[in-house]
Amino acid sequence: MSESVYTVNGMTCGHCVDSVTEEVGRIGGVRAVAVDLPTGQVTITSATPIALDDVRAAVAEAGYELVQR
């Protein structure tokens, strides 16, 4: 298992959390997504490491911005 933590800008409510969770959860190999709204941190647990570009695209599809870490 692999775990990665990212920071996402622009989330302000529970709907934001749901949108990011849903889009990131669609990435192949993702087992779990945990979003901490106050900090903007998104923790992804996956079978294998997930490509940064895939995470960035999923976050953008949800309408938010992935902060370079």
What is the tens place of the pLDDT at every residue in 2-59? 999 999 999 999 999 999 999 999 999 999 999 999 999 999 999 999 999 999 999 9
Give the number of domains in the chain. Answer: 1
CATH classification of the domain holding 18: 3.30.70.100
Q: What is the pLDDT of residue 69?
A: 58
Q: What is the pTM of this model?
A: 0.93
Those residues with Cβ within 8 angstroms of residue 65's Cβ, 6 or more apart along the chain or in another chain: 8, 9, 10, 59
The parent domain of residue 55 ranges over 2-67
Exposure on the CB side of residue 42, measured as CA atoms within 13 A: 32
- Inter-residue contact 60 to 25 (CB < 8 Å): no
Q: Hey, what amino acid is at 46?
A: S
